[in-house]
Amino acid sequence: MVELKLRSRQWIVNEQGEMVMGEGRRRILETIEETGSINQAAKRLKMSYKGVWSRIKATESHVNARLVRSDGKRGSYVTEEGKDLLRKYTRLKAQCLEADDRIFQSIFE
């Protein structure tokens, strides 16, 4: 039998099923943190500025917190609330993947 692997993704959605946090938004926040710029993050991720900005604003609306701030001196940066959301999402994803792997192995071993 060929070697099988499980691929899974985790999304956090609100009660209406609207995206709050997932891999794309994780990458957006991390790239803003790396580049110090929403525009540079959009370019690096091959997205439009408007697309990046609208995803940030949608998530901010869902969690009722500012995740990204911009100013003339610092540029754009991820707020403490944004960093906390990133940490929690990263932790959730890692634990979900570990559990998924255990379940997959128990079934397909």
The domain total for the chain is: 1
Residue-by-residue pLDDT tens, the chain, 109 positions: 688 888 889 999 999 999 999 999 999 999 999 999 999 999 999 999 999 999 999 999 999 999 999 988 889 999 999 999 999 999 999 999 999 999 999 998 8
Which candidate, 109, 17, 35, places its Cα nearest to that of 77?
35
Assess if residue 68 is contained within a domain: yes
Domain interval for residue 35: 18-108
Assess if residue 61 is contained within a domain: yes
Give the CATH number, domain containing residue 70. Answer: 1.10.10.10
Assess if residue 5 is contained within a domain: no
- What is the rounded CA–CA span in Å between residue 16 and residue 95? 25
Token digits of residue 45: 């991720």
Q: CA 8, 13, 14: angle at the middle one, nearest 5?
A: 160
Assess if residue 32 is contained within a domain: yes
pTM of the model: 0.89
Assess if residue 37 is contained within a domain: yes
